[in-house]
């Protein structure tokens, strides 16, 4: 973003020694340890860090707000000459929505399901007495048009559930703009979106923030995204500042190790596995068509082959049918046509008719380790169950095997075997899920978005672990993901899916080297890069190609 | 709207099916009751021959299924048969009583539903304050007393000591509307005290449950006032569970008011039912039970339709 604020504008927001405490079991623990933050008019400040860094907590503290279970315990917050810590509730209420606005991560959850978009837009201006309803509605339509929402005159009269995720996120940005605030806090506004949709939202946000010269705090865990948006970046970790610098300088010349790690996060590449020499592939999905309830077809004539010891990545956006493919393979959803072959032998369509051995051969790891583990079971029982169910081990043999598995996933058996899932971190829980899948000694493991819910550095460790297990045990992976960086890191072969069909498939090198299928091209070009000019260049390039009359594929979430 | 009409029709059809099953259960249930009407009327001294002759005269000697289908055939045409005790048409007997019961229920609902909702919203708005606790203690106390006790307390103060309302609710069809309301005020207040706690606590809980939602946080960060957040952002989304509880309580107002009717000597359906059971007057018992079942079915249908009307996801599909 152009530095129209830079270092010489008037100071809008100043935090000094900000401390915030969070409550856990009747005890207050400090989660933000004395942060200094200065924001000038029109400036965009990026807050970046992994979960637990305190970035979101700091972001909403700029509105004098602390979430339930948190409290601002020290330091000062001064907004445009007003001390927010000394301000009354009523003074803060008048400030919020009118001079400082907030854009939440999940627009689908942050819009009230009971009211139309445009009513929610005009609520703040009307309640703050800034504008009358009719006037606010007219402005809403104008902003909807600016944010390139389809049918701007009428989209506001829809309810939130009638509008797609990317559109909602833009409608929320419009809502934040309603009173023309001096400052907007963007709290991970694109994290829940597909990459191709993310571009549209990023471009729209950037556009209006520049247009109205609004200052912004842009919170994200993705350095490549913040590089497009921010003039200045603060890197946070565990509630402390790691590094703060001008965006371009930080990307070109990071000073701290942690920043360097974040910058390097998507550079991991595995070595290609040897090709499968045997005549029949380990898994073959042959012309599968499937639907939910017989109406909407989710998979349309899909064929995929997975060779022994290889990693095949299935990549696509939400609604592409990639998770449904996993459900068909595991027998949770019998296909209406086609078949699933394992080692050349056709599997019964439903898991209920598969033998224990057929079930054992294909195991699954899920996206959310939190919900995939029974919170009331200890690690010993979680891993021990498949050990005794599939392999029939009991007593000391079972215990020995559980310990071996824990060592395989690089977790100390003595320390972890008696713990409950609640006592583990997200990455550790996902390791336990991997161990549970390995316990069945499967030949194929289906990984469904296994790194999507994890922080980037943790995700990379999980990918490395999966790779080491493949090298040691020769297990085959079907790796379902929406994240092309993950595909690039771990796959041997790639299957690109769109709206239930396979668009393109082949070796990783083939897929990532042009010429592509138009959709693959759209997908690949939409992945943010660390270059601060990437978004501007990409949009200029797409516009130029359109101007030359070339067909440019765009996201269906327009 | 077409979808709602279709649903209402489907549910009504299902409701009739349920009523049919219920009618059979009622009939069989009554059949299983110990005691015999003929014996009851003629007294201990009657000879077995007299009792048998009387039974034959009433048709009680026929097998149960013949009597059931005779009865059902009549019900379908609106004929509930004749009372065994008074030989009058059951529909005449019940008609006025039913209107009285519905009138009392309507007055009680008109007081209790708004009071419960307003108290619930206020309690949610000022939760964990002295106000919230006072309301909770008061409503929970009133629900904890048996209804006849509440009724006598009200009579003591409002009728005997201060003489504001009549202690006996004797009504007849020639009374004017407001006079009728005046006479049923005490039973209506008693019922209000009994049911308000349930509805008020559900309103409070349903709203508080939503106060942790992201869209409530969003409203706070938009600088919306607390009262508007509760009434405009939380309440519309909390209506479905509240409506369900209200409807259960409305059904109670129709079918569960026997004791209150007895205390205030109010000529309602409940009292008639109790008298008829004592007399083994089976046609009246069956008709009353059928009306109670129909009340539940209709009120639940209303609740479902209202829940849809308050849910934009169902009212405005994609």
CB contact under 8 A, A110 and B217: yes
Of B218, B223, B233, which has the smallest distance from its Cβ to A94's Cβ?
Answer: B223
pLDDT along chain A (558 residues), means of 10: 54 93 86 92 91 88 90 92 91 93 89 93 92 92 88 91 86 91 92 83 87 91 88 92 91 89 79 81 92 82 92 89 91 91 91 91 90 91 93 91 92 90 88 94 93 85 92 92 87 91 89 84 86 87 84 65
Give the three-class secondary structure for A477.
Answer: strand
- Set of chain B residues whose Cβ sits within 8 Å of the Cβ of A175: 222
ipTM over 0.90: no
Which element (helix H / strand E) includes A346? Answer: strand A345-346
CA atoms within 13 A on the CB side of A173: 32
pLDDT tens digit sequence for A415-474: 899 999 888 888 899 999 999 999 999 999 999 989 888 888 888 889 999 999 999 999
- Residue B75 contacts residue B23 (beta carbons within 8 Å): yes
Instruction: Please report the pLDDT score of residue A39 as a whole number.
Output: 93
Minimal C-alpha gap between A1 and chain B (Å): 26
User: Domains in chain A and their CATH numbers?
Assistant: 11-263 (3.40.50.300), 283-525 (3.40.50.300)
Instruction: Please report the pLDDT score of residue B1 as a whole number.
Output: 67
- Residue A206 contacts residue A535 (beta carbons within 8 Å): yes
pLDDT tens digit sequence for A333-383: 999 999 999 998 999 999 999 999 999 999 999 988 888 999 999 999 999
- Residue B253 contacts residue B105 (beta carbons within 8 Å): yes
- Set of chain B residues whose Cβ sits within 8 Å of the Cβ of A94: 223
Instruction: Please report the pLDDT score of residue A556 as a whole number.
Output: 59
Show the CA angle centred on residue A230, arms to residues A224 and A235, nearest 5°.
70
Instruction: Please report the pLDDT score of residue A508 as a whole number.
Output: 86
What is the DSSP-derived secondary structure letter of residue B82? B
Minimal C-alpha gap between B246 and chain A (Å): 21
Give the three-class secondary structure for A77.
Answer: strand
- Residue A46 contacts residue A235 (beta carbons within 8 Å): no
Tell which of A79, A102, A112, A164 to mutate to test the B interface (max B CBs under 10 Å).
A112
CB contact under 8 A, A96 and B222: yes
Of B215, B310, B316, which has the smallest distance from its Cβ to A112's Cβ?
Answer: B215
How far is the C-alpha of B42 from the C-alpha of A53, rounded, in Å?
Answer: 88
Per-residue b or e along A26-40, where b marks 16 or more CB atoms closer than 10 Å to that residue's CB: eeeeebbebbebebb
- Residue A416 contacts residue A399 (beta carbons within 8 Å): no
* Edge-to-edge order in the sheet of strand A215-220: A100-103, A183-187, A215-220, A44-48, A232-237, A240-246
Q: Between the CA atoms of A261, A266, A267 and A268, what dihedral angle is there, to the nearest 10 degrees? A: 100
Of B214, B236, B316, which has the smallest distance from its Cβ to A110's Cβ?
Answer: B214
For residue A127, the tally of other CB atoms under 10 A from its CB is 20
CB contact under 8 A, A113 and B312: yes
Each domain of chain B, given as residue ranges in start order, spans 2-76, 90-315
pLDDT along chain B (318 residues), means of 10: 80 87 85 72 76 77 80 81 77 84 90 93 90 90 85 82 79 77 86 89 90 92 92 90 90 85 84 82 84 88 85 78
- Residue B186 contacts residue B158 (beta carbons within 8 Å): yes
Query: If you count residue pairs, one on A and one on B, with CB atoms under 8 Å apart, how many are there?
Result: 77
Quote the mean pLDDT of chain A: 88
How far is the C-alpha of A418 from the C-alpha of A135, rounded, in Å?
Answer: 63
Residue of chain B with shortest Cα separation from A69: B212
In A8-99, beta strands by DSSP E: 11-24, 27-40, 44-48, 70-79, 82-83
**A132 reaches B (C-beta below 8 A):** no
Chain B positions with Cβ closer than 8 Å to A: 212-215, 217-225, 228, 233, 236-237, 310, 312-313, 316, 318
pLDDT tens digit sequence for A41-68: 989 999 998 888 888 999 999 999 998 8
Q: Take residue A488 and report the two structure tokens written for it.
A: 């690039």
Residues 6 or more apart from A158 whose CB is under 8 A from it?
A116, A117, B316
pLDDT tens digit sequence for B184-224: 888 888 888 888 988 999 999 999 989 889 999 999 999 99
pLDDT tens digit sequence for B252-287: 888 878 888 888 888 888 888 888 888 777 788 888
Superfamily holding B90-315: MetI-like (1.10.3720.10)
């Amino acid at each position: 973003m152009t530095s129209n604020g830079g270092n010489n504008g008037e100071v809008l927001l100043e935090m000094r020694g900000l401390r915030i405490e969070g409550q856990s079991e009747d005890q207050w623990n400090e989660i933000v340890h004395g942060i200094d933050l200065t924001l000038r008019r029109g400036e965009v400040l990026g807050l970046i860090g992994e979960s637990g860094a305190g970035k979101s907590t700091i972001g909403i503290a700029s509105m004098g707000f602390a979430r339930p279970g948190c409290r601002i315990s020290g330091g000062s917050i001064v907004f445009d000459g007003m001390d927010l810590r000394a301000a009354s509730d009523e003074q803060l209420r008048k400030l919020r929505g009118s001079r400082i606005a907030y854009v939440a991560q999940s627009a689908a959850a942050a819009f009230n399901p009971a009211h139309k978009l445009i009513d929610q837009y005009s609520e703040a201006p009307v309640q703050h007495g800034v504008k009358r309803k009719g006037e606010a509605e007219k402005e809403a339509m104008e902003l909807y048009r600016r944010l390139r929402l389809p049918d701007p005159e009428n989209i506001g009269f829809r309810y939130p559930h009638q509008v797609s995720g990317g559109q909602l996120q833009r409608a929320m940005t419009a809502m934040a703009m309603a009173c023309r605030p001096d400052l907007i806090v963007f709290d991970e506004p694109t994290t829940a979106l597909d990459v191709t949709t993310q571009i549209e939202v990023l471009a729209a946000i950037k556009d209006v923030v520049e247009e109205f010269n609004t200052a912004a705090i842009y919170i994200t865990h993705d350095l490549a995204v913040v590089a497009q948006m921010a003039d200045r970046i603060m890197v946070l970790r565990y509630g402390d500042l790691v590094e703060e610098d001008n965006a371009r300088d930080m990307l070109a010349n990071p000073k701290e190790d942690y920043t360097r790690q974040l910058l390097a996060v998507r550079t991991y590449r595995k070595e290609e596995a040897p090709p499968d020499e045997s005549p029949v592939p380990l898994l073959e999905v042959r012309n599968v068509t499937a639907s939910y309830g017989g109406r909407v077809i989710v998979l349309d004539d899909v064929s995929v082959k997975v060779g022994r010891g290889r990693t095949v990545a299935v990549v696509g956006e939400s609604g592409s049918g990639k998770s449904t493919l996993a459900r068909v393979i595991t027998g949770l959803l019998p296909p209406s046509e086609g078949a699933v072959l394992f080692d050349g032998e056709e599997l019964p369509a439903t898991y209920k008719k598969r033998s224990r051995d057929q079930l054992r051969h294909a195991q699954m790891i899920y996206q959310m380790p939190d919900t995939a583990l029974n919170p009331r079971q200890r690690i010993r029982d979680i891993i021990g169950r498949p050990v005794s169910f599939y392999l029939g081990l009991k007593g000391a043999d079972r215990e020995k095997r559980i310990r071996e598995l824990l060592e395989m996933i690089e977790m100390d058996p003595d320390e972890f075997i008696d713990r409950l899932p609640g006592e583990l971190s997200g990455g550790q829980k996902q390791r336990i899920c991997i161990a549970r899948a390995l316990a069945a000694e499967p030949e194929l493991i289906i990984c469904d978005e296994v790194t999507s819910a994890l922080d980037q550095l943790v995700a990379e460790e999980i990918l490395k672990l999966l790779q080491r297990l493949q090298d040691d045990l020769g297990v085959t992976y079907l790796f379902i993901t929406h994240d092309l960086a993950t595909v690039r890191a771990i796959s041997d072969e790639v299957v690109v899916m769109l709206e239930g069909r396979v668009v393109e498939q082949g070796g990783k090198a083939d897929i990532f080297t042009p010429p592509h299928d138009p959709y693959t091209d759209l997908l690949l070009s939409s992945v943010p890069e660390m270059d601060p000019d990437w978004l501007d260049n990409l949009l200029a390039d797409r516009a130029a190609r359109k101007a030359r009359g070339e067909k440019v594929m765009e996201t269906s979430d327009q | 709207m077409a979808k709602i009409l279709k649903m209402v029709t489907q549910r009504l059809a299902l409701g009739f099916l349920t009523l049919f099953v219920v009618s059979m259960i009622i009939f069989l249930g009554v059949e299983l009751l110990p005691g015999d009407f003929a014996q009851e009327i003629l007294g201990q001294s009657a000879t077995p021959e007299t009792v048998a002759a009387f039974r034959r005269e009433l048709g009680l000697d026929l097998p149960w299924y013949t009597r059931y289908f005779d009865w059902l055939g009549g019900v379908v045409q609106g004929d509930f048969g004749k009372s065994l005790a008074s030989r009058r048409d059951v529909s005449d007997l019940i008609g006025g009583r039913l209107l009285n019961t519905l009138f009392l229920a309507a007055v009680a609902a008109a007081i209790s539903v708004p009071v419960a909702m307003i108290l619930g919203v206020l309690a949610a708005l000022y939760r964990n304050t002295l106000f919230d606790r006072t309301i909770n203690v008061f409503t929970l106390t009133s629900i904890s007393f048996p209804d006849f006790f509440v009724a006598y307390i009200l009579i003591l103060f409002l009728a005997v000591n201060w003489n504001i309302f009549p202690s006996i609710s004797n009504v007849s069809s020639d009374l004017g509307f407001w006079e009728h309301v005046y006479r049923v005020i005490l039973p209506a207040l008693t019922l209000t005290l009994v049911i308000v706690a349930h509805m008020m606590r559900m309103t409070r809980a349903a709203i508080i449950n939503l106060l942790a939602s992201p869209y409530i946080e969003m409203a706070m960060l938009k600088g919306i006032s607390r009262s508007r957040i509760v009434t405009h952002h939380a309440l519309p989304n909390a209506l479905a569970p509240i409506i369900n509880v209200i409807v259960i309580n409305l059904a109670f107002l129709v079918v569960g008011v026997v004791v209150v009717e007895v205390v205030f000597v109010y000529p309602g359906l409940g009292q008639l039912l109790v008298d008829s059971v004592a007399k083994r007057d089976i046609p009246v018992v069956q008709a009353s039970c059928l009306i109670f079942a129909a009340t539940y079915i209709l009120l639940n249908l209303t609740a479902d339709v209202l829940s849809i009307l308050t849910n934009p996801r169902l009212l405005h599909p994609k």
